[in-house]
Amino acid sequence: MPANSRLNASVKVRGYVDLMKLRVVELLLVSTLPAMVLAQGGLPSLSLTIATLIGGTLAAGSANAFNMVIETESDKLMKRTAKRPLATGVLTKNEAKIFATLIGGAALIIFQVFTTSLATILTAIAIVFYVWVYTILLKKRTPQNIVWGGAAGCMPALIGWAAVTNSLSVTAWSFFLVIFFWTPPHFWALAIKYKDDYAAAHIPMLPVVASKTHLLRQMWVYTVAMIASSVALIVNAKLQNWAMALTVLLGLIFAAQLRGLDEKSEQYEKVAGKIFQWSITYLSLLSVLLVVAQLLKA
């Protein structure tokens, strides 16, 4: 194969990988495994875990790829997304649609064959919800887009539980709510940094259309609800008192980060960036905490 052909093939492959937004997928998987451990009351089988994580990766990658197809023109207007494979022309929309369909179909097959019917149904709902409800219906129509559309990102908590039990429980829904309330302050902190990008693309993210005072108030509402939901999760999962203490501590650190978001400060965007990074750390540490607490309890 000529060097140019190999290079073109490599660029194409990289483009397909980029379509999946694997850095975002990592966050989704972070909530899948703890849900499986809680549902199992210990470590689930290796084969079930691998199948669920691979299926979840492909499902999320499919939804993300469809998202890029729909938002190609918007991506061209935003510095943060201008280098995505469809915006740059590395891939065509048809190539992306075929890829998204194939890996989405593969995800559903994997879930149906190796996990449970309920997990398969929930996965299909998550893909449809993210593509149709969030990307098409909500994102450009309401500043509350990430609140309701973000529900798709909470689905791994339910999918992981259902993959083990073929059912859902109060504990699973408690975990769902933690991520549901975590999503707005997490995403809005990022949107503060890229406010001009969203404005250029005519996407009414809350930092674009609301005052800093209103935005901060909303971030506090969801942060408090997140902390309350995390407490409910520990209670419903019947985890140890030390797990409760650490969970509350993580929430208070999150709140402390938010207190630093002074609308009059010249460091406003810098602080927002720190909140975004901490929010990722928060969810990761909470997930590790849940796994460790359940394994020590078992």
From CA 92, how far away is CA 217, in angstroms rounded? Answer: 42
Query: What tokens appear for 67 in the block?
Result: 């998202």
Please give the full DSSP string across 231-247, using - where no structure is assigned.
HHHHHHTT--HHHHHHH
What pLDDT was estimated at residue 5? 55
Instruction: Domain ranges for the chain, please list them.
Output: 10-297
Query: What tokens appear for 177 in the block?
Result: 């709510």
Q: Is 69 exposed, middle or buried (0-12, 13-18, 19+ CB in 10 A)?
A: buried
What pLDDT was estimated at residue 148? 87
Q: Say how far residue 56 (Cα) sits from the centre of its chain.
A: 12
User: Mean of the per-residue pLDDT values for the chain?
Assistant: 93
What pLDDT was estimated at residue 4? 53
Please give the full DSSP string across 178-193, using - where no structure is assigned.
HHHHHHHHHHHHHHHH
From CA 2, how far away is CA 5, in angstroms rounded? Answer: 5
Token pair 């985890």 is found at 239
Sorting pLDDT into bands at 50, 70 and 90, what band is 93?
very high
Given a cut of 60, whether residue 7 has pLDDT beyond it is: no
What pLDDT was estimated at residue 49? 96
Provide the CATH number for the domain formed by 10-297 in this structure. 1.10.357.140
Sorting pLDDT into bands at 50, 70 and 90, what band is 116?
very high
Given a cut of 60, whether residue 2 has pLDDT beyond it is: no
233-252: pLDDT as tens digits: 999 999 999 999 999 999 99
From CA 71, how far away is CA 94, in angstroms rounded? Answer: 14
What pLDDT was estimated at residue 9? 77
Given a cut of 90, whether residue 150 has pLDDT beyond it is: no
**Confidence (pTM):** 0.94
Percentage of the chain lying above the pLDDT 90 cut = 87
16-25: pLDDT as tens digits: 999 999 888 8
121 closest CA partner among 175, 61, 55, 170 = 55
What pLDDT was estimated at residue 34? 97
Q: Is the dihedral of CA 236, 237, 242, 247 positive or negative?
A: negative
30-50: pLDDT as tens digits: 999 999 999 999 999 999 999
Average pLDDT over residues 209-238: 97
Given a cut of 70, whether residue 3 has pLDDT beyond it is: no
